[in-house]
Structure 1
Amino acid sequence: MLKDFVKPDYSDADELKMRIKEERAHLTASQMKIKEAGLPVMVIFEGWNAAGKGALIGKVIRNIDPRFFRVATMDRQPSDEEKRYPFLYRFIKEIPEAGKFRFYDTCWMNEVVSGVIDGKLGEEEYKKKVHSINVFERQLCDNGYLVMKFFFHISKKEQKKRLDNLLDSKDTKWRVDDEDIRQNKNYDDCLDVFERYLEDTNESRTPWYIIDATDKKVAEFEVLRFLNQGIDIALTNQRMNVPILQNTFPMEKMKKLSDISLDDKVLTDEEYDEELEKLQKELRDLGNKVYRKKIPVIIAYEGWDAAGKGGNIKRITEALDPRDYVVEPIASPEPHEKARHYLWRFWTRLPKTGHITVFDRTWYGRVMVERLEGFCSENDWKRAYNEINEFEKELSDWGAVIIKFWVQIDKDTQLERFTDRQNTLEKQWKITDEDWRNRDKWDLYETAIDEMIEKTSTAFAPWYVLESVDKKYARIKALKIVIEQIKKRL
C-alpha cells in the first residue's frame, strides 16, 4: 500500500484552497446530522513520526463544535497498570458516545508495530493482536460506529528534514526523542512493518486512507474529503441490517432447561455446613495463588428472578480477600453506557490480573431482556451471540478464567419466593413490579435462555447450570466448580 502509493496531483493552489473551504463547510454542516442520528465517529491518525498528525487534528477539529468531540492521545506503549488488562482495554475505554467524534493521535496500530520493530512482539503474538483488532473494528462498524483510519506518509528525506528543523530550535527540540531518530535511520525496515500491518488490517468496512503529508494543505484536504465521504455514507446506511456471522468456535453440548431435573438436588444442614467450611477454605487458598500468579478470574451469574444469585455470590466472596475481588451488580445501562457499544460497560469493569470480578447479571442481557423487551433490533441480538463469543475468546486468550452460571429454579418455586418476599417486610425491597411482569413472560424467556446457552456455551467459556430449588445445593455446586476451574488454570 505504501510502496505503491501514488501522490495526488493538486497543482492548482487556488482550486485547492477553494475545495478545502468547501470541505470545511461540509464537515461543519455534518456535525448536527451526526448528533441527531446518534452516529459515533472514530477518526484514527497513524503515520510516520513528524508527519504532522497533531497539527492536522488541530485543523480538522476547528470545524466542529467542541462539545461534540474529544481528542485521545495514546501513549506508544501501555503503562504497567494497563499491561494488567487485555491488549485492547486501554483503547476501548476511549471509544466515543453516540453522536460524537473521538480523534486518536495514534491508536492500536502504534503499539503493535512498535513491538515488532523493537523485537518485543513475536510472529504469533503479532497475528493474535491483528486478529483482535480486526474483530473489534468489525464489531464497532456492525454496532453503528464509523471508523476512519488515516496513515500519514512522508519520505525518509522529508522526515529527516522535519526532525532536523525541530532539533534546531530550543523551543521544539524536546519534541524529538530517540525513537524518532531511530525510526528515520531504520526507515526501510519500518516501512516493511507498516506496509504489512496496513495490508493485514485493510478491511472493506474499515479501510486505510493513505495521506500524502508532504504538503500540509493537500493533507488537510484529503483528510476532510475522505472524512466527509465516510460520514455521508454512514448516515445513509445507518439503518441497514448487518450480516449474521456463522459461529466458528468449538461448542459444548447443553441440555434445554426443561430437560434438567431439579429433583433430589438437596443437602441437609449438616452436609451443607461441613461442605461450605471445607470448600471456602480451599477457595481462600486458591484466591491467594491466583493473586500471586496474576491470573484474572471472571465469574458471571445469570438466572431467574429469586433463584438465589445473591446468596450464591455471597458464599463465594466470603472466602476471598476483600482487596482482591469486586462484585459488579449490572442494572439497566446508564445514559453514557447506552450511548456506546453494548460491551463497553463490561470491558471497563474487567478485573486486572490477579483479581476476581463477579458479575451479578452480564452482557447476556443483550439476548434476553433487550431481545424480549425490544430494547435492540432483531439483527442486533441475533448478531450478539457471535460477538459475545468473540469477546469471551479475547478474555480467554488473555489468560482469564471464565465461569458462567445459570441459576435454575422452576416456576412454582419462583412464585413461592415472590410471595414470601412480598409478605415479609424486611424482604420487600427484593420484589418489584418488573419481577412480576417478567414472570408473565416465563415461557418466552425460557426459549431465549435455551438459545443463549446453546449458542454461547463454548469450549473456552461453557455454561454451568446450578439447580437452586435448594439454595444450599446450588451454593456448594458453585463453589466446587469455581475451585475446579481455578485449579485447572493453575
Structure 2
Amino acid sequence: MLEHVDPGKRLDQKGYDKAAPGLKERLGELQRRARDAGMPIIVIFEGWDTVGMSEIVNRFILPLDPRGFLVHPITAPSPEERARPFLWRFMVRIPARGRIAVFDRSWYFRSLARAVERKEEDARAVWREIADFEEMLSNDGYLIMKFFLHIGKKEHRKRLERYRGSDMDMCAISMAEVELFKKYDRMLPLIEEMLEATDREHAPWTIVEAEDQRFASGKVLASSVQMVERGLASREGRSQASMDGLAGDDRQFSSLRAKADLAVSIPQEEYRARLEELQGRVAELQCALNRQKVPTVIVFEGWDAAGKGGAIQRLTAELNPRGYEVVPVGAPTEDERAHHYLWRFYRKLPPAGHMRIFDRSWYGRVLVERVEGLCPPAEWRRAYQEINSFERMLVEEGAVLVKVWMEIDRETQLRRFQERAADPRKQWKITEEDWRNREKWDLYERAVDEMLFRTSTAHAPWTIVESNDKYHSRVKTLETVVRAMETAGKGSK
C-alpha cells in the first residue's frame, strides 16, 4: 500500500490557511451530530517514529469539544496489562456511544513490537485477531478511522539524526519507538503486510503523506470529515436493517441437552467423599496455575434454580480468596449499555495466574436479550461469531476456559421454586422475574439449544451438567474444572 505513495507531498501555508478553518468548523459540527446520534468513533494514528505524530494528533483534536473525547497514548504495556490478553487494554478504552477515543499509537504499534520481540507469525495471528476485533466493533455501530503517517527512508534517517541530542528527544518520540523503527528496511515490509492484512471495508486505512506537517494535518482533517459524514449517513440504514434482519429464521438445531440423563444421582456418602477430594485438588491446581501464570475463566449458565450458586460455593470452598473472584452478572448499567456488550466482560477478565468465575455471562446476549427482545435479531445472531472469536482469543492467549450448562427439567424447577417460596430462609432466591421466565420456557429452550449448538467449539466446548440431583451436579462440575486445569497445567510446564 505504501509503494505508490509519495510521502513528500506539500501544502504551503496559504493553502492550509484557506482549507483548514472550514474543515475544523465542520469537524466540530460532526462531533456534535455524532454525539446526538450516539455514534462512537475510534481514531487511530500510526506511523514512523519520527513523523511528528503528536503535532498531527493535536491539530486533529483542537476543533473538538474536549468534553467529548479522550486521547490514549499507547506505550509499552504495564505489568497489569501484560498479565491480560493482548487486546484487553484497548477494549477497556473504547469510547461510549456518542464519544470519541483517539489512539496515539494503538494495537497496531504493539503488534509490530510483538513481531520484533517474538516471531512474525505471532504478529500475523494478532492481525487476524485485530481484524475480528474491529469488525465486531464496526458491526456494533462504531466508526473506525485509521491513519498511517508515512515518510520516506531518507527523511526518516534525517529526522532521526536531528532528534538525537535534541532537547525535544524524549518529548517527541519514545525510546521504544526509536528501537522499533530505527531499521527502516526491516520494518517497511512488516508494515506493508500489516496494512494489507487489516485494511477492511469496515475499517480501511488512510495513508497520509506526512513529510510535510501542513499537508498531513490537512489530509487528516479532510479525510475525517468525509468518514464521519459517511458514517452518519449510513447509520440510519444500518439501524433499520438491524431491526428487520433475520427475524423469521425457523431452523432447528441439534440439542446437546437431549443426551443428558437427568435421572442420574449419587449417594450422599459418596458425594461427601468425592467432594472433599475434588475441592482439595482444585485448591492444589489453583496454586499450580498461579505459579505458572495461567489465567482461568469459568462460566456458569443454566436454568433458574438449576443450582449454579450451590455449585459455585462448592467450587470455591477451599480456594485462596486472593486468587479468585466470583462475578455475578445481572442487567447492564447505563455505562455498560453505552459500550459494546462484551466491554463489561473484558474489564472482568483475570490477570495471569488468577481465576474469574462468572455466575451468568456474555451468553445473556443470546439468551435473555434474545427472548425478551432487548436487542434486535441481527445483533444477537451476530453475537455467536463474536463470542466464538472472543473465547478463541482467551484460549490462544493461554487461558483455561470452562463453560458449564446446568440442566434440569421443568418439574424439578417448579418444585424448587415452590420450596423457595414456602421457606422464609430461601424466599430471597425467588423473584417475580423467575416466574415470568418460567412461562417462556419453550422460547428459552430454543435459545439455549441454538446457543449450545453454535458456541460449543473445539477450543471452548460446553459441558452439560445434569442437575436434577444436586450432589451429582456439584461433583460433575468440579470434575470438569479439575480436568481442564490439569490439562492446562501439563501444557504450560
TM band (smaller chain): over 0.9
Taking structure 1 as reference, are residues 340 and 109 closer, same or farther at Cα in structure 2, changes over 3 Å only? Answer: same
Residue identity in the other structure for 1:56 = I
Residue identity in the other structure for 1:137 = E
Deviates more, 1:19-28 or 1:443-452: 19-28
Q: Work out the CA distance in 1 between the residues paired with 2:177 and 2:282.
A: 50
Residue deviations 1:79-136 (CA, integer Å, cap 9, x gap): 33322211111111111111000000100111122333x4x22132122111111111
Q: How does 1:90-169 map to 2 (within 5 A)?
A: 90-116=89-115, 118=116, 120-167=117-164, 169=166
| Aligned counterpart for 1:211 among listed residues 195, 208, 213 | 208
What is the RMSD computed on CA atoms of the aligned residues?
Answer: 2.3
Q: Work out the CA distance in 1 between the residues paired with 2:229 and 2:171.
A: 40
1:228 equivalenced with 2:225 (yes/no): yes
DSSP-derived class of the 2:425 partner: helix
* Contact 1:71 1:102 (C-alpha < 8 Å) held by counterparts: yes
Q: How does 1:398-413 map to 2 (within 5 A)?
A: 398-413=397-412
Residue deviations 1:167-199 (CA, integer Å, cap 9, x gap): 565365664555555567522222222222112
Residue equivalent to 1:248: none
* Contact 1:163 1:176 (C-alpha < 8 Å) held by counterparts: no
| Aligned counterpart for 1:191 among listed residues 174, 188, 191 | 188
Residue identity in the other structure for 1:298 = V
DSSP-derived class of the 2:387 partner: helix
Residue equivalent to 1:56: 56
Q: CA deviation at 1:381?
A: 0.6
Residue equivalent to 2:71: 71
Q: Work out the CA distance in 1 between the residues paired with 2:137 and 2:463.
A: 30
Q: Work out the CA distance in 2 between the residues paired with 1:421 and 1:405.
A: 24
DSSP-derived class of the 1:237 partner: helix
Residue deviations 1:206-228 (CA, integer Å, cap 9, x gap): 11111112222211111111111
DSSP-derived class of the 1:261 partner: coil
DSSP-derived class of the 1:149 partner: strand
Q: Work out the CA distance in 1 between the residues paired with 2:204 and 2:316.
A: 46
DSSP-derived class of the 1:81 partner: helix
Q: Work out the CA distance in 2 between the residues paired with 1:377 and 1:350.
A: 27
Output the TM-score relative to the length of structure 1: 0.92
Deviates more, 1:463-472 or 1:445-454: 463-472
Residue identity in the other structure for 2:28 = T
Identity of aligned residues (%): 41
Q: CA deviation at 1:3?
A: 2.0
**Unaligned stretches of 5+ in structure 1?**
246-252
Q: CA deviation at 1:23?
A: 1.2
DSSP-derived class of the 1:102 partner: strand
* Contact 2:302 2:407 (C-alpha < 8 Å) held by counterparts: yes
Q: CA deviation at 1:413?
A: 1.6
Residue equivalent to 1:383: 382
* Contact 1:466 1:478 (C-alpha < 8 Å) held by counterparts: yes
Q: Work out the CA distance in 1 between the residues paired with 2:437 and 2:255.
A: 23
DSSP-derived class of the 2:86 partner: coil
DSSP-derived class of the 1:425 partner: coil
Residue equivalent to 1:39: 39
Q: Work out the CA distance in 2 between the residues paired with 1:101 and 1:185.
A: 31
Q: How does 1:295-310 map to 2 (within 5 A)?
A: 295-310=294-309
**Unaligned stretches of 5+ in structure 2?**
247-252
Residue identity in the other structure for 1:393 = R
Q: Work out the CA distance in 1 between the residues paired with 2:389 and 2:460.
A: 11
DSSP-derived class of the 1:460 partner: coil
Q: Work out the CA distance in 1 between the residues paired with 2:358 and 2:442.
A: 25
* Contact 1:368 1:448 (C-alpha < 8 Å) held by counterparts: yes
Taking structure 1 as reference, are residues 256 and 244 closer, same or farther at Cα in structure 2, changes over 3 Å only? Answer: farther
Deviates more, 1:331-340 or 1:410-419: 410-419
Residue equivalent to 1:26: 26
Q: Work out the CA distance in 1 between the residues paired with 2:179 and 2:398.
A: 34
Q: CA deviation at 1:166?
A: 4.3
Deviates more, 1:292-301 or 1:12-21: 12-21
Residue deviations 1:420-478 (CA, integer Å, cap 9, x gap): 22222222221111111111111100011011111111111111111111111100111
Deviates more, 1:209-218 or 1:305-314: 209-218
Taking structure 1 as reference, are residues 415 and 145 closer, same or farther at Cα in structure 2, changes over 3 Å only? Answer: same
Residue equivalent to 2:481: 482
Taking structure 1 as reference, are residues 216 and 419 closer, same or farther at Cα in structure 2, changes over 3 Å only? Answer: same
* Contact 2:9 2:212 (C-alpha < 8 Å) held by counterparts: no
* Contact 1:130 1:200 (C-alpha < 8 Å) held by counterparts: yes
Q: Work out the CA distance in 1 between the residues paired with 2:293 and 2:180.
A: 34
- Count of residues in Structure 1 that have an aligned counterpart in Structure 2: 479
Q: Work out the CA distance in 2 between the residues paired with 1:185 and 1:460.
A: 39
Q: Work out the CA distance in 2 between the residues paired with 1:185 and 1:453.
A: 49
Taking structure 1 as reference, are residues 173 and 121 closer, same or farther at Cα in structure 2, changes over 3 Å only? Answer: closer
Output the TM-score relative to the length of structure 2: 0.91
Q: Work out the CA distance in 2 between the residues paired with 1:88 and 1:22.
A: 36
* Contact 2:10 2:214 (C-alpha < 8 Å) held by counterparts: no
Residue equivalent to 1:419: 418
Q: Work out the CA distance in 2 between the residues paired with 1:473 and 1:173.
A: 62
